[in-house]
Each structure stands twice: as C-alpha cells, then as structure tokens.
C-alpha cells in the first residue's frame, strides 16, 4: 500500500476516517495520506440571475465562500505541520464543486490503493432515492473503499468477516482479500448467509467455501454458514455475534434503474453496520 485517500469535510465522521488512516499509515514504512476537502458552491437558492441565464452568487455568498476557502487552507496547513515529522507523508487538496464528483475525480487522478471515508449512514427516503456520498463512492470507485462510523484503531484488528456466495471465480478480489488479511495480520472468517429465499444445505455451502480457500491458498481462515432473514441482516448479525473488527465484501456497482430495483447488499451493509466495512467493486 502506498497511498490512502481521505475525503475530509471536518465533521466528526471525517475525523474518525482520518485518525483511522493515520493509524494505518503508521504500520507501513512508506505511505502517503492524501486528504481531500471539497468546498461546495453556495446553494442556488441564494443566486441571482444575470444576462444570458447564468447564475452567480450574491455578494454575501461570495464573501462567505471566499472566507470558507481561506479557512480550509489554514486548517490544512495546521494539519500538515502536525504530521510533518511522521513516517508517512500527508498531502492536502481543496477542490471546488460537487462533493461526489470531486471525490471521484480525485480517485481517478491519484489512483489511491484505498479510500477511507467517514459515514453516519442514511435511512428512509434518503437511503432509497439518493443515498449518501459515501454510498455513491462505494458503488462506483475502482479501488477499495473502507468506511468507518466511529473512532476505530486499525492496529488492533484481529477478525475480518468476508461475506460472499463464493460462486464466481474472482482472482483480483481474492488477492485483495488476502492482502487485506495480511495488512491487519487477522483471522479471516469466510461466511455464506443462508436465507429462506435462497436456502441450500450446509454441505453445499461449506464445499464452495473450501474450494475458494484452496483455490486461492487462503490461510488462517474459518468457514461459516449463518442463517438469517436476509443477506444484509445476516452479515451484520454474524459480525456482531463474533465481535468482528471489519466486514469485507464485493459490490457489483449497479446504477440507475437496476440499482433502484435490486438495491445493493454492500451499500445496505455500509449503511447499517456499526463496524468498519471494506468494499471492492468487481467487474461484471
């Protein structure tokens, strides 16, 4: 691992993500923590219409916007000084515009090994219709995304849950899971969630897990079959039952109508799990 990207909006959740990333960076000899702040333009409700239909902010919004950017620059300078003597480099960047678009552009430009984001989850109508910026990044990022919701020390991770149906061969995903296990020097729990709508025997599930572990030479792994009403609930419940430190899973990155109709198990778990969740978008 050489670079971690941390979208940072100065919230409590973002601070948890930054603290997590800095603690993780301390485990490596060479690493960069790239801290990104997206300053969104003032709401168009306070804009005035000029000739040609262009929208420009009124004077009060302009002043506030300029002052906010200056404040973020000062805060980032203080942050860089704080970690100037660390065994990793910390870089900062401020971009203007939409938060999700700014994060996506930075992922494409910087090509980080990992994105760490703070999240407080979403529920109800917001979850169904738009979701959070974190969910959108989880859905679309080409690199792994790790979400945290509370202060978490990654140096103490000992149990990782990897939930899957283990039906498809995913060489890149398996290699990343092995690397994740190595980063944290943790035991890996390979779990299939058995639900009423997709029931199968324990023998069938256990056989697929064993084939996966043998195919990819995964060590220090435990095979588990867990019964629950839904896959999302089962993953969260199993992680709680064994007091796991991290949940890992793949996402297929469905968008548009397909996403509205089928949803995303990974995004639901990110929303509802209290513990950190690592996701990776697999190719369709």
What percent of the chain has a predicted confidence (pLDDT) above 70?
85
On the question of pLDDT at 62 being above 80, the answer is: no
Angle at 162 between CA 159 and CA 165, to 5 degrees: 150
* Residue 56 scores a pLDDT above 80: no
DSSP 163: E
The pLDDT value given to residue 59:
60
Q: Who contacts 244 (Cβ-Cβ below 8 Å, separation ≥6)?
A: 159, 160, 161, 189, 238, 275
More confident residue, 57 or 176: 176
Contact between 174 and 128 under an 8 Å Cβ cutoff? The reply is no
Residue 150, C-beta contacts closer than 8 angstroms, at least 6 positions apart: 16, 274
Identify whether the C-beta of residue 46 lies closer than 8 Å to the C-beta of residue 105. Answer: no
The token pair at 253 is 């990155």
Q: What is the mean pLDDT of residues 139-158?
A: 94
What mean pLDDT do residues 51-61 have?
Answer: 52
* pTM summary value: 0.86
Q: What is the largest CA-CA distance in the chain?
A: 71
pLDDT digits (tens, 9 = 90+) for 5-55: 999 998 999 999 999 999 999 887 768 999 999 988 765 544 443 334 444
Between 35 and 125, where is the model more confident? 35
**Within a 10 A sphere around the Cβ of 34, how many other Cβ atoms?**
20
User: Does the domain made of 3-146 have the CATH classification 3.40.640.10?
Assistant: no
Half-sphere exposure for 247 (CA within 13 Å, toward CB)? 35
Q: What's residue 274's pLDDT? A: 92
Confidence band (pLDDT; 50, 70, 90) for 260?
very low
Q: What is the average pLDDT across 246-265?
A: 65
The CATH code of the domain at 157-281 is 3.40.50.620
Q: Report the C-alpha gap between 169 and 126 in whole angstroms.
A: 34
Kindly tell me if the per-residue pLDDT of 252 is higher than 80.
no
Residue 145: predicted pLDDT: 96
pLDDT of residue 121: 56
Domain layout of the chain by residue ranges = 3-146, 157-281
In Å, what is the CA distance from 51 to each residue of 45, 54, 90, 199? 17, 7, 44, 63
**Distance, CA of 83 to CA of 189 (rounded, Å):** 35
Closest of 230, 222, 251, 21 to residue 136, by C-alpha:
251
3-146 matches 157-281 in fold: yes
Given a contact cutoff of 8 angstroms between Cβ atoms, the answer to whether 36 and 6 are in contact is yes
């Amino acid at each position: 691992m050489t670079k971690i990207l941390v979208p940072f909006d100065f919230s409590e959740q973002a601070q948890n993500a930054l603290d997590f990333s800095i603690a993780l960076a301390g485990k490596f000899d060479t690493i960069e923590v790239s801290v990104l702040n997206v300053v969104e333009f003032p709401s168009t409700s306070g804009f005035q219409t000029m000739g040609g239909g262009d929208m420009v902010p009124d004077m009060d919004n302009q002043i506030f916007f300029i002052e906010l950017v200056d404040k973020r620059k000062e805060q980032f300078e203080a942050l860089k000084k704080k970690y100037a003597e660390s065994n990793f480099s910390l870089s900062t960047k401020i971009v203007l515009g939409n938060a999700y678009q700014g994060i996506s552009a930075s992922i494409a430009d910087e090509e980080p090994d990992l994105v760490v984001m703070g999240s407080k989850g979403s529920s109800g109508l917001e979850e169904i219709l738009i979701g959070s910026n974190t969910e959108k990044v989880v859905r679309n990022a080409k690199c792994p995304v790790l979400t945290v919701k509370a202060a978490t020390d990654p140096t103490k991770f000992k149990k990782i849950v990897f939930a899957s149906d283990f039906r498809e061969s995913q060489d890149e995903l398996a290699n990343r899971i092995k690397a994740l296990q190595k980063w944290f020097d943790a035991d890996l729990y390979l779990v299939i969630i058995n639900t009423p709508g997709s029931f199968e025997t324990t023998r069938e599930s256990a056989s697929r897990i064993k084939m996966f572990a043998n195919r990819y030479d995964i060590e220090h792994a435990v095979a588990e079959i867990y019964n629950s009403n839904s896959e999302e609930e089962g993953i969260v419940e199993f992680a709680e039952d064994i007091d796991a430190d991290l949940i890992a899973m793949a996402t297929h990155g469905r968008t548009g109508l397909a996403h509205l109709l089928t949803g995303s198990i990974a995004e639901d778990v990110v929303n509802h799990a209290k513990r950190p969740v690592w996701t990776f978008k697999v190719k369709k």
